[in-house]
């Protein structure tokens, strides 16, 4: 087989071109100038993969890495791994590369490995294409071509793969989960369990003590997934440890652990391991460009999980300070955008300046139905010249609807922002805040806001943000929150905030899956498919 017969262009990112032009283009030009078929030019150019026309140990390692790209959630087909492997093994069995094919193999393998390192480190697509507007890593000096050259020269290709991949702990855990679910999907016994859908539930749900013809299959699936022990007996009666297994399954899938098999639980039980494989791959791709480790102190909100984590990053290691539930924007019409920013201010006892859209659609109609709502909720009007108006008139309400006057809510126990507001300036006016409606944190699904993020433990978050400011201990934080007088604190040191989207997490060694409530996994899947079509 000639190298020209198997070659298909492999995608190379702009960042990768920087070093590749020296590693590949210049030697190739020298080869052409010396005359096609000339072995002299090839001998004079630095070769990464060949020695006297025969592949080196590094060439074997490189092709093996490309063939195993699926372990990193990447596709070996993207890097022509199978074709490169066939040529390599055919050459090993013969007399080496003919001179006219040696340079081509050198170029093809270098191109494939450079593209692989680029995809592994930076991701396969630009996140801004799917409305994930994270700041580019300005200090990231990773050069895929230079990294490849160094790894080959130092004979450290396997180590170079780990060094190019994201260092975030979740990525390592997802790599293990991917292997686990891929093995399950390939196992003929386990995969057979998902060959058919579960039968419909009696009365659309299965409660404790009831019988169900599909319960035996559910038990086998729970055993395969690790939610029930392997010696669990099959039965059609839903009770005892089977209920506990279902509750564990529900917890791992972001469902209310009520021990009842309803339609949502049934739908998750029907998701096959092969579908989970793809879900994990999509989340590994997203981790390549989500800036979870880009600052010494981080606040990360995982939208699908409805959870906030505040942590420090020291020597690449994460030290978790606090974890809390959050309420995020409604998936229906007020989704929380995905981006990162700098937390710069804390506002204690804040005013709520009601956005015009909410004033028109919600607040003004409520006041018209019940004029007493204006005073009972602590609202007031602010004219264009800054005058504050505490009385109510139809003329002023019309001015609010027309945008000539705004309505705001005074600090107090009924203020929609609660008693504290965490501000990271952004074009969407998104911020973190508390809420008087604390009962909503008990809901399993919490996409209930107009886009901003409500935090369950504002004092804990404020303590993390102000931990290195000796003036602001917990007592003073609580005093400022309850004072009723609005005040804004400019932080001495900003804290990085990331509004992220991961539908797969690993908690205490167990894999958790969450609903793709904003459809971002689907959007990413479509973008990757388009990218493959474009590059082929």
Name the residues annotated as catalytic: 433, 452
Which among 334, 286, 291 is positioned nearest to 313, based on CA atoms?
A: 291
DSSP string, 487-518: EEEEEEEEEEEEEE--SEEEETTEEEE---TT
Q: How far apart are CA 299 and CA 295, in angstroms?
A: 10
Classify each residue of 152-177 as buried b or exposed e, where b means 16 or more C-beta atoms within 10 Å of its C-beta.
beeeebeebbeebbbebebbebbbeb
Q: How far apart are CA 404 and CA 501, in angstroms?
A: 37
Alpha helix ranges (H) inside 165-288: 169-186, 188-192, 215-225, 241-252, 263-269, 273-287
Q: For residue 199, what is the DSSP state?
A: P
**Phi first, then psi: what are they for 109, rounded to 5°?**
-70, -40
Q: Helix (H) and strand (E) counts for the chain?
A: 22, 18
**Phi first, then psi: what are they for 481, rounded to 5°?**
-70, -30
Q: For residue 444, what is the DSSP state?
A: S
As a whole number of Å, the CA-based R_g of the chain is: 29
Do 290 and 535 touch, CB atoms closer than 8 A? Answer: no
Q: How far apart are CA 362 and CA 395, in angstroms?
A: 18
Do 303 and 455 touch, CB atoms closer than 8 A? Answer: no
């Amino acid at each position: 087989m000639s190298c020209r017969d198997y070659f298909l262009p492999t995608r190379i990112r702009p960042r990768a071109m920087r070093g590749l032009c020296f590693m590949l283009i210049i030697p190739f030009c020298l080869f052409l100038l010396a005359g096609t078929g000339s072995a002299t030019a090839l001998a004079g150019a630095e070769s990464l993969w060949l020695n006297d026309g025969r592949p080196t140990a590094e060439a074997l390692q490189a092709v093996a890495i490309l063939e195993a790209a699926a372990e990193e959630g990447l596709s070996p087909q993207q890097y022509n791994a199978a074709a490169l492997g066939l040529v390599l093994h055919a050459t090993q069995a013969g007399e080496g590369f003919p001179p006219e094919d040696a340079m081509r193999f050198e170029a093809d393998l270098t191109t494939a490995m450079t593209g692989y390192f680029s995809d592994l480190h930076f991701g396969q697509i630009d996140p801004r294409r799917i409305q994930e507007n994270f700041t580019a890593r300005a200090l990231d000096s990773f050069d895929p071509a230079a990294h490849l050259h160094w790894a080959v020269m130092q004979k450290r290709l396997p180590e170079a793969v780990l060094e190019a991949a994201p260092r975030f702990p979740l990525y390592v855990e997802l790599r293990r989960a991917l292997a686990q679910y891929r093995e399950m999907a390939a196992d003929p016994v386990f995969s057979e369990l998902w060959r058919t859908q579960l039968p419909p539930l009696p009365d659309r749900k299965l409660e404790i003590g009831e019988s169900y013809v599909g319960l035996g299959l559910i038990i086998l699936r729970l055993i395969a997934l690790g939610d029930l022990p392997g010696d669990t007996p099959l039965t059609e009666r839903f009770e005892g440890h089977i209920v506990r297994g279902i509750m564990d399954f529900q917890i791992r899938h972001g469902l209310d652990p009520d021990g009842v098999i309803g339609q949502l639980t049934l739908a998750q039980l029907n998701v096959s391991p092969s579908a989970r494989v793809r879900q994990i791959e999509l989340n590994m791709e997203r981790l390549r460009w989500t800036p979870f480790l880009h600052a010494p102190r981080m606040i990360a909100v995982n939208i699908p999980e409805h959870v906030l984590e505040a942590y420090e990053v020291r020597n690449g290691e994460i030290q978790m300070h606090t974890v809390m539930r959050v309420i995020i924007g409604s998936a229906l019409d007020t989704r929380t955008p995905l981006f990162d920013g700098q937390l710069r201010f804390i506002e204690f006892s804040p005013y709520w300046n009601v956005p015009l859209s909410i004033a028109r659609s919600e607040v003004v109609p409520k006041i018209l139905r019940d004029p007493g709502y204006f005073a009972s909720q602590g609202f007031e009007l602010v004219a264009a010249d800054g005058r504050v108006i505490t009385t109510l008139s139809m003329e002023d309400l019309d001015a609010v609807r027309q945008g000539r006057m705004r309505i705001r809510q005074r600090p107090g126990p009924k203020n929609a922002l609660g008693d504290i507001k965490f501000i990271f300036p952004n074009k969407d006016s998104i911020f973190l805040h508390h809420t008087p409606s604390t009962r909503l944190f008990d809901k399993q699904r919490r996409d209930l806001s107009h886009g901003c993020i409500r935090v369950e433990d504002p004092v804990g978050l404020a303590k993390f943000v102000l931990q290195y400011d000796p003036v602001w201990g917990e007592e003073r934080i609580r005093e400022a929150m309850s004072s009723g007088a609005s005040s804004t604190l400019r932080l001495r040191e900003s804290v990085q905030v990331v509004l992220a989207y991961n539908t797969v997490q690993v908690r205490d060694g167990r894999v958790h899956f969450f609903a793709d409530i904003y459809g971002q996994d689907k959007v990413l899947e479509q973008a990757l498919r388009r990218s493959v079509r474009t590059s082929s």
